[in-house]
Amino acid sequence: MTPDTVDQIFVISKHWLLGYVPAMLQPLASAVLSVVPVLLAFPLLFAITTVLERKGLGRIQNRYGPNRVGPAGFFQFAADGIKSLTKEDVVPRDADQVVHFLAPLLLVIAAFLAYAVLPIGRNMVVANLDAGLLYFFAVGSMVELAVFMAGWSSHSKYSLLGAMRAVAQMISYEVPLVLASIVVVMASGSLSTVAIVEAQAGYTATLPHWYVFTPWGFAGFILFMIAATAESNRSPFDLPEGESEIIAGYYIEYSGFKFALFFLGEYLGMFATSALAITLFLGGWAAPFSFMTWIPSYVWFFVKLLALIVFFIWIRGTLPRLRMDQLMGMAWKFMLPMTLLNLFTAAVWHFLPNPLLRWPVCTALVVVPFVVLSRSMKQGKTLQVRTYRYAE
Amino acid sequence: MTLIFLILAAITIVGTAAAMSFRNPIHCILGLTVGLVGLAMLFLHLGAQFVGFTQIIVYVGAVAILAVFAIMMTQGGRRLTETATKPQITPSLLVGGTVAGAVFAVLGWAMLGRPSTAIHSVQPVVSVNQIGQLLMHNYVLPLEIMAVLLTAALIGAVILAMPQERGKR
Amino acid sequence: MLGVGILKGLTETARNFVGSYFRKDRLTTIQFPEERAPRIEASRNFPFLVYDGPDAMAGLRCVSCFICEKECPPKCIIIDKSTDKKPDATGKLQFYPAEFKIDVSVCMSCQICVEVCPFDAIKMDTDFELSTQNRFDDLLWPKLRLAKSNEYYHEIHPTEAAAVDADLAAARAKAAPKPAAPVAPVAAAAAPEKGTTA
Amino acid sequence: MNPLTGYLLLSALLFSIGLAGALLRRNAILVLIGIELMLNAANLNFIAFWRYGPNPSALTGVMFTIFSITVAAAEAAVGLGIILAVYRHTKTTDLNEMTSLKG
């Protein structure tokens, strides 16, 4: 088998399987054969991630983490899954039954729908839409509604507060998220995710042409990742589910399998935004060095995805939770100006063809506003070692 | 008149009718979302991909959430706002229903009475690129006006919704 | 500048992460059922009844004075007084509890019963594995299950138990020379025996 | 009946539903939603005429719809802002109870 065959093995096997299907059912069978692997692969990744996350967080805090089920606790996800499946499904008496039931379903469906436009490997995308990026954000906006439905229908003050926080946070951070990804659209000239990956193809002396290796691309990637963390409600932006204040946020009244569905939806959303970050800035399924192209494209995609997931876990183990005003201030006073300036930087990069000129100019255009903004955010705040009157 | 059209039309009609008839305003918004998603699907079915996705982003992601926030800020925890009694036929209901029905009857009569002749049955291919080109060339003035309008709306909405300072009045 | 602190924090957590694989002393977790933490003398949990001598029921120090039952904030102690009397730890004839029950599910381990007991008969245990599968009968502990020997008390709280023994010996010495009433021979006979075992 | 007529009928029905809602509902927010529905009915007309019209390559219908959606979004934002401002004075969103012009 040549490397190319290994790379295309899923595509080839799909066509081989389609050969056995009568011509009338071919479109349907093709869709099913594209969708089912996605429906299997990402929940499996979710299962692995929960174990990785718990073990990683444990090690960060000098603990063992789960180590009882299976070798080194690796099958903990199976135990968790069985537990959540067999638990009693409690619905509050005052809850809006229909909406309460629909909310987790809508969340998971919206999270799964986003995977339709993400290229997992070469020629491996469920639907190559012309407006793929727009589709991704359209589907992502449905998550907000699901979150609101969950919080409102539970008829509990904690879940309502959590839902309001989550919706406010998601709306605020959707603006920088979209603006940070628009620089890539400007550079590649297309909204199609496949075309964006193709625009980053090619190598200069073994180094790839990824957008992250440009000043605006790097800044865009960092801003995108911050916004993605906030969008997926992960620490340090996990106010909607801040345990110390509102217990579990919008899904507090859910139990058993519906709770597991919320968990799944949240992680699927995180994977989807990470995968979009890979597609937009990290060259999608492309290999990082030209001499490593023999490794199949989907392997590279999942390696990058796992790297970003590990980074998310690392961040979660490091940073404390923000306050609500800090969160909103971050979105509107730092992220929004930075993303808007980044748009300008990308335009300058496009219109300065001379690499000797455009590198310093664009780097300055990114670094100077960052320094100024971070100085201004710190203004009036004296940071000092905190003294405690009673606890010591 | 394909099956897909009928299904999508049914979703749209049921959703919007629910939005206008439920008593709980939050249910109304959820019904509206269903109806508008159905409408967006109709746009996609008609080949207008960009418009369909924009419809979902704007209506599901922004307008519905905005309306929900407005309801939560004006009614708080109260669930039923309009009369909790059974719906009854009032003169206003009769008049409103008659007006709406009359409008529908007139529009329907106009459409069915004069079947349109020129039917372009080939699905037009429209790329986002084309839309962008048009926006930046033929429609650049409307685009700028829209930008000004959106800015004005943003500032206006903020000023309207901002709590007035104490002692100013 | 924004981000420097984040980077510092990230290096710190990364050091923790890597270090936990190479240095065992970083991991302070005790793998509970297999490993156990060393017993701390001052630790206290559910109360128990102390007895002297080989026979648990005969040697109970409790005289069923009802002070602990009255003082117990959640009212989890139930005592039935006996009709007859028997000599107590100092040799004096006293009532004894016909039944003494503590409800584990109600007890909050506040130690007030221990504080108020004038006979040093009830003390705090260190056992914390109290869970059972029957929430009614298995959680209402009878006298038989509550009674634990003075040796056990010495084992879990040695300093405190030694002080208690010294107090009791003093009380016994005070009680013994008094050649009072017809009970005296019985008390005198009982006292040395108790003293040797204690 | 050709496909265009189906879309036009659907659009007329949507418009009537929106009109009925705007006329009958007493909650100001839902009246605004009814107006949004009427705008959307117009959008459907634009798209249907673009799709089945004689010159689809000009994209006029699509352009109109994009601008119309933008206007509708701005309208919703300002409308809801006005409702919030009115609510602050009158403590109600019921249109029947908003009887005075004075703040």
Render pLDDT for A178-195 as a digit per residue (tens, 0 to 9).
999 999 988 888 888 888
> A129 vs B49: CB contact, 8 Å cut-off?
yes
What is the pLDDT at residue C112?
92
Range of the domain at A135: 91-371
**Cβ contact B51–D94 (<8 Å):** no
Share of chain A above pLDDT 90, in %: 8
Q: The domain containing residue B43 runs over which residues?
A: 1-80
Residue B119 confidence (pLDDT) above 70: no
Mapped onto helix, strand or coil, the DSSP state of residue A349 is helix
> Contact at 8 Å (CB) between A224 and A125?
no
Find the mean pLDDT for residues B31-46. Answer: 90
Question: How many pairs of residues across A and C have Cβ atoms under 8 Å apart?
Answer: 46
In a domain, B69, yes or no: yes
Tell me the pLDDT band of A319, cut-offs 50, 70 and 90: confident
- Ranking A150-154, B62-66, D83-87 by mean pLDDT, the lowest is D83-87
Question: What pLDDT is attached to residue A329?
Answer: 83
Question: Does residue B96 have a pLDDT over 60?
Answer: yes
CA distances from C50 to A261, B7, C141 (A): 54, 80, 15
Q: Residue C19: its pLDDT value, please?
A: 87
pLDDT tens figures, A94-125 = 888 888 888 899 999 998 988 988 888 888 88
Residue A358 maps to a domain: yes
Whether C40 is covered by a domain: the verdict is no
Identify which has the larger pLDDT, A146 or A4: A146
Residue D35 belongs to domain spanning:
3-90
Same domain, B6 and B67: yes
Query: Distance from B129 to chain D by nearest Cα, in Å?
Result: 12
Question: Residue B27: CB partners within 8 Å, gap ≥ 6?
Answer: A99, B18
B44 shares contact with chain A (CB less than 8 Å)? no
Q: Percent of chain B at pLDDT above 90?
A: 11
Q: Which domain holds residue C102?
A: 47-153
For residue A171, give both structure tokens.
């709306």
Instruction: Give just the sign of the alpha carbon dihedral A362, A365, A368, A374.
Output: negative
**Amino acid residing at A28:** L
| Per-residue pLDDT at C73 | 92
Determine contact, residues A177/A336, Cβ cutoff 8 Å: no
pLDDT tens across A209-260, in order? Answer: 888 888 888 989 999 999 999 888 887 888 777 777 777 778 888 888 888 8
* B122 in any annotated domain: no
Q: What is the pLDDT of residue A33?
A: 83
- Please determine, for residue A351, whether its predicted confidence score (pLDDT) is greater than 70: yes
Tell me whether residues A134 and B30 touch, CB distance under 8 A.
no
C189 has pLDDT over 60 = no
Is B55 within the bounds of a domain? yes
In this prediction, residues C40-59 reach a mean pLDDT of: 85
**Do B2 and B76 fall into the same domain?**
yes
Contact B57 A134 (CB under 8 A): yes
| Domains: count for chain C | 1
Give CA–CA dist A77/D13, Å, rounded.
51
pTM listed for this prediction: 0.82
Tokens linked to A203:
């190598």
Mean pLDDT of B14-29: 86
Q: Which chain B residues are Cβ-neighbours of D45 within 8 angstroms?
A: none
Q: Looking at residue B62, what is its pLDDT? A: 86
CATH number of the domain where residue C80 is located? 3.30.70.3270
Q: Which of A182-186, A383-387, C148-152, D38-42 has the lowest mean pLDDT?
A: A383-387
Flag whether residue B9 sits within 8 Å of chain D, measured between CB atoms. Answer: yes
User: What is the mean pLDDT of the segment spanning C49-68?
Assistant: 86
Q: Is residue D80 part of a domain?
A: yes
What is the pLDDT averaged over residues C7-12? 90
A375-382 LR contacts (CB < 8 Å, sep 24+): A375/C1, A377/A329, A377/A333, A377/A334, A377/C2, A378/C2
- B positions 32-71 inside 8 Å of D (CB): 32, 35-36, 39, 42-43, 46-48, 50-51, 54-55, 58-59, 62-63, 66-67, 69-71
The answer to whether the CB atoms of D83 and B5 lie below 8 A apart is no
- Does some domain include residue D55? yes
- Number of independent structural domains in chain A: 1
Using the predicted structure, report yes or no on whether residue B148 has a pLDDT greater than 90: yes
Average pLDDT over residues C88-98: 81
Residue B4 sits in the same domain as residue B65: yes
- Asked if residue C190 belongs to a domain, the reply is no
Count up the domains in chain B and report the number: 2
Q: Please indicate whether, in this complex, the C-beta atoms of D70 and B149 are within 8 angstroms of each other.
A: yes
pLDDT at A221: 92
Determine, for residues A62 and C2 on separate chains, whether the beta-carbon distance falls below 8 Å.
Answer: no
Q: Which run of H or of E encompasses C94?
A: strand C93-103
A145 → chain B, closest CA residue: B65
pLDDT for the residue numbered D101: 67
Say whether B60 and A142 touch across the interface (CB within 8 A). yes
pLDDT at residue number C186: 46
Q: In total, how many domains does chain D have? A: 1
Residue D89 at interface with chain B, using a CB cutoff of 8 Å: no
Which whole-number Å values give the CA distances from C79 to A126, A279, A325, C108, C148, in the listed order?
Answer: 75, 74, 59, 18, 17
> Residue A272 has what pLDDT?
92
Q: Is B33 on the interface with A (CB under 8 A)?
A: yes
Mean pLDDT of chain C: 82
CATH number at B62 reads: 1.20.120.1200
A-interface mutation test, from B27, B30, B66, most A Cβ less than 10 A away: B30
Residue range D48-91, pLDDT digits in tens: 888 887 777 778 888 889 999 999 988 888 888 888 888 877 77
Q: What share of chain C is helix, strand, coil (3-state, %, to 5)?
A: 40, 20, 45
Mean pLDDT of A373-381: 77
Let me know if residue C188 belongs to a domain. Answer: no
The pLDDT of residue B81 is 46
Question: CATH number of the domain that D26 lies in?
Answer: 1.10.287.3510
**Nearest chain A Cα distance for residue B75, angstroms:** 13
pLDDT tier at C83, thresholds 50, 70, 90: confident
Q: Which residue of C has its CA nearest to A67?
A: C31
- Would residue A376 count as lying in a domain? no
- Determine, yes or no, domain membership for C77: yes
Q: How far apart are CA A87 and CA B28, in angstroms?
A: 33
Distance of CA A333 to the CA centre of its chain: 23
